[in-house]
Structure 1
C-alpha cells in the first residue's frame, strides 16, 4: 500500500494527469495485492532512447485502461542500440 501512495504522490508532483499509468517494477507487481495482470503488449517500433520507449508504453497502457505497467526493454544486437519494447499491464 505504501508503494501505491508513493507512486501516486510522484505522479501528482510530476504534473501528469490522473489517468496516467504508473510505472512499477517486477518486485512491486508481485507485492501489490490489488494488482491484476491484463497481459503483455508489444510495440513493433524501433526506439532510439529509453524515454521514447517509455512514452510509447505509457500511451499504450493508458489506451488499455491500465493503472500500472512494467516495461520490458530489449536491445537487439547489431541494431545500433535501437530497442524493441513490451510491457506487462496491470489493473
Structure 2
C-alpha cells in the first residue's frame, strides 16, 4: 500500500497526529543522513511490520538517544559559547501615557 502526499497531509491535520508528525520529522532527518543505511531502513521496516519494539531495544534506544542529545548539547555549547550573555534581560522600555483631549 502506498500513501499519497495528500493523504499524509490530511492525516497530519488531525489533532491526534502528534506522533505521526514526530516520526515523520525524525525519518526526514534520518533520510538526509548518509549514515542512515539501507540496513537501518530494513530494521525499521521490520519493527513496523512486527507492530512492537522489544523492551531491550526500547531501553537501548533511550540510552543512545540520551547520549546523542548530550553530544548535540556539547556541540551547541562549543559553537555558541556562554549563553548567559544571550539571556540577559532587555533594558526596560519607557512607560508611555496616552492622553486624550476634550477638544
Larger Rg: 2
TM-score by length of 2: 0.25
Higher relative contact order (CA 8 A, sep 6+): 1
TM-score by length of 1: 0.27
